[in-house]
Amino acid sequence: FPVDKIRNFSIIAHIDHGKSTLADRLLEMTGAIAKTDRNKQVLDKLQVERERGITVKAQTASLFYKHEGQTYLLNLIDTPGHVDFSYEVSRSISACQGVLLIVDANEGIQAQTVANFYLAFEAQLSIIPVINKIDLKNADPDRVEKQIETMFDIPSEECIRISAKLGINVDRVLQEVVKRIPPPTAKLEEPFKALVFDSTFDHYRGVVANIALFSGQVCKGDKIVSAHLGKTYEVNELGVLRPDEHPTERLYAGQVGYVIAGMKEVKDAQIGDTFYHQKQPVEPLPGFKPAKSMVFAGIYPTDQSEYPSLRSAVEKLTLNDSSVMVQRDSSMALGAGWRLGFLGLLHMEVFNQRLEQEYNASVIVTAPTVPYKAVLSSPKLIKEYGQEVITIVNPTQFPEKSCVVEYQEPMIDFLLNGKPVEELTTIVHKDQAYNTGKAMCVKLKESIPRQMFEIAVQAAIGSKVIARETIKAYRKNVLAKCYGGDITRKMKLLKKQAEGKKKMRRIGNIDVPKDAFINVLKRK
C-alpha cells in the first residue's frame, strides 16, 4: 500500500466523552463492521470495559476509506483511557502522526483531556479537536470551542462538531483525518524497525504483539529481535487488524499490524520495545520504560479451597498484563495468596473485577500500599538485610514494629477483641493516624454483623489504642420471628443464614463477612 495514502491516528479523550462510540461509527462507515446494535463498542472487548466505560487494553483497526476517488488506509489505534495507563497511551500515540481530541460538548475540557493533549503535543502530532455530543440538550459547543482555543491555542475554526451517537458529521472527521494528518515518514528500503505498542496473550498461539512499522518490511519465517529484552523469535504469523486479525504475507513500513512469533508471555513483547531483523540491528526507538508497579496489595481466595482455581486465574490474567507484578504471599487469617503490584488504584480495581467476572473468582483484597523505603538504624538489622536502605511492599514485613513507630508514618493495627486483623494493617502519615484509625473502626463496626457476644474494634499504634468502637451483642435468635409457626419460612431463614456464613471469615471466634474487608479497604 502506498505510504502517502496511509494515516495513523488515535482517538484521545476524557472518560465518557465518546471515544468508543466514535470508533464504532468510524468502523461502521468504512465497512469494517456491520451496523447493528450488537456491535456496540467493538473496540472495548472486555466486560470490565463495557461496564466501566474505560478501555483497558488498546485495540487497533485498519480501515479502508475512499475519498475523492482515492483509497486510503486509516490505522485507528485505540488507546487506554485512564491515567494509570498513560505510559501505554504515550506508546500508542508514538505510533501515530495525528490524534482526534474528543471533548464533550456539555462537560468541556476535563483532566484527561489536558493530560492526553500534552502527550500528543509533546509527540508533535497533528491534533484535530472534535466536539462530541452536540445533540445533548445542554450542549454548548461555542463555549467548548473557546476553551479549546484558550487552553490549547487551537483556532476554533479547526474544531469539528459531531454527534458520535447519532452519526452527525462523522464523515467530516474521516475527511479531515485524510487532509490534516500527514502520512508516516516510513522508509521501505531501510532495515525493518517496528514499535511494539500493545500485546495480548492468546491461549492457543501465545503472544500477539501489535506493531507499527517505522521502516523496512517483515514476513513469515523472519527472525526478529526485541531490542530491550534481546530475545530472538521466529515470525509464525503476521497480518492486519480489521479489527479482527487478518493474516497477510508481509507487513511494510507505514503499516500497523500484528505478529505472532512464539513468545510465551506478554513480558516477551513489552510495550515500547523495538523489533528488528536479527541480521540488521537498529537503534531502538526512544521512550521505552519497563512497567513499574506503584501500588501493592494482597489478594487471597475468600475460601482457601479455591486457591488452585484462583492461581490459574491470576496466571492467565498476568499472562495478558505484563505490568502486574506477582509474588506469592500468605497470611495468618487469609491463608495462601499473592502480593500483586499494579500501575495504580484503577489498574488494581480493574484486575480484581476481571478476576471476578472473567474467572468467577471470589477474592479478598488487602489495603493497597505504595512501596516504602526504610532506612535501618540498628547495626544488627543492617547486617541481617545486608544493606542500610530496604524497600518494603508489605507493611507487615517491616523488620520490627518499633522501627516504624518513631517514623513520620506509623503503622496502625486493627484488632477484634484483641486479635489483630493483619490484612488491615495500614501505614499512614502521623497527622492522619487518628482520623484513619477512627474511620476504619467505624467502617468495621458497620460491616460486621452483631454476634452472640460483644466485640471491641480497636485501632492501635504499637500498644497504644488510638480508636475504639463497640459492636453490641446480638440478642434475638434468627428463628425467634417464626413463632414456631411457618416451616417453609423457617427453612428459608436457615438457608439464608447458612449462605451468609459461607461468605464469612473467622478471626478468633468472630465471623467477619468478606464484605467487611472490602468496605474497610475501599475507604478511599
CA dihedral 274, 275, 276, 278 (to 10 degrees): 120
Considering only the stretches 20-28, 195-203, 294-302, 432-440, report the one whose residues sit in contact with Mg ion under the rule CB under 5 A: 20-28
Q: How far is the CB of 355 from ligand GDP (least distance, A)?
A: 23
| Among ligand GDP, Mg ion, none, partner that 443 touches (CB below 5 to 8 angstroms by kind) | none
| Among ligand GDP, Mg ion, none, partner that 15 touches (CB below 5 to 8 angstroms by kind) | ligand GDP
Q: How far is the CB of 271 from ligand GDP (least distance, A)?
A: 20
Binding flag, residue 226, Mg ion (CB under 5 A): no
Q: Using the rule CB under 6 A, which residue among 8, 21, 293, 366 binds ligand GDP?
A: 21
Binding flag, residue 135, ligand GDP (CB under 6 A): yes
Type of residue found at 444 = L
Q: How many amino acids of this chain bind Mg ion (CB under 5 A)?
A: 3
- Cell numbers 459531531 correspond to 162
Nearer to Mg ion by C-beta: 116 or 318?
A: 116
| Among ligand GDP, Mg ion, none, partner that 339 touches (CB below 5 to 8 angstroms by kind) | none
Nearer to Mg ion by C-beta: 105 or 218?
A: 105
Binding flag, residue 20, Mg ion (CB under 5 A): yes
Binding flag, residue 92, Mg ion (CB under 5 A): no
Choose among 454, 456, 450, 394: nearest CA to 425: 394
| Among Mg ion, ligand GDP, none, partner that 133 touches (CB below 5 to 8 angstroms by kind) | ligand GDP
Binding flag, residue 20, ligand GDP (CB under 6 A): yes
| Among ligand GDP, Mg ion, none, partner that 164 touches (CB below 5 to 8 angstroms by kind) | ligand GDP
Q: Grid coordinates representing 391?
A: 524497600
Residue 218 parent element (H or E) = strand 217-219
Angstrom CA distances, 291 to 62, 63, 145, 308, stand at 27, 31, 37, 27
* Cα distance between residue 305 and residue 427, in whole Å: 31
Rg of the chain on CA atoms, in Å: 27
Binding flag, residue 133, ligand GDP (CB under 6 A): yes
Choose among 423, 410, 508: nearest CA to 460: 410
Binding flag, residue 354, ligand GDP (CB under 6 A): no
Type of residue found at 282 = V
Q: Using the rule CB under 6 A, which residue among 6, 9, 10, 17 binds ligand GDP?
A: 17
Q: How many amino acids of this chain bind ligand GDP (CB under 6 A)?
A: 17
Nearer to ligand GDP by C-beta: 193 or 354?
A: 354
Binders in 161-180 for ligand GDP, by CB under 6 A: 163-165
- Give Cα 234 distance to the centre of its chain: 30
Backbone angles phi, psi at 166, to 5 degrees: -90, -5
What angle is formed at CA 275 by the lines to CA 342 and CA 343, rounded to 5 degrees?
Answer: 10
Binders in 31-90 for Mg ion, by CB under 5 A: 55
Angstrom CA distances, 28 to 15, 31, 33, 245, 381, stand at 22, 5, 5, 17, 64
Annotate 45-61 with three-state secondary structure. Answer: CCHHHHHHCCCCCCCEE
Give all strands of the β-sheet with 335-342 in edge-to-edge order: 325-331, 335-342, 295-301, 363-365
| Among Mg ion, ligand GDP, none, partner that 80 touches (CB below 5 to 8 angstroms by kind) | none
Nearer to ligand GDP by C-beta: 20 or 369?
A: 20
Binding flag, residue 106, Mg ion (CB under 5 A): no
Binders in 223-252 for ligand GDP, by CB under 6 A: none
Choose among 320, 335, 325: nearest CA to 268: 320
290-329 footprint of ligand GDP as x/- string (CB under 6 A): ----------------------------------------
287: which residues sit within 8 A by CB, 6+ positions away? 90, 91, 94, 272
Binding flag, residue 132, ligand GDP (CB under 6 A): yes
Binding flag, residue 98, ligand GDP (CB under 6 A): no
Binding flag, residue 136, ligand GDP (CB under 6 A): yes
Q: Are 10 and 26 in contact (CB under 8 A)?
A: no
Q: Which residues bind Mg ion (CB under 5 A)?
A: 19-20, 55
Q: Which residues bind ligand GDP (CB under 6 A)?
A: 13, 15-21, 53, 81, 132-133, 135-136, 163-165
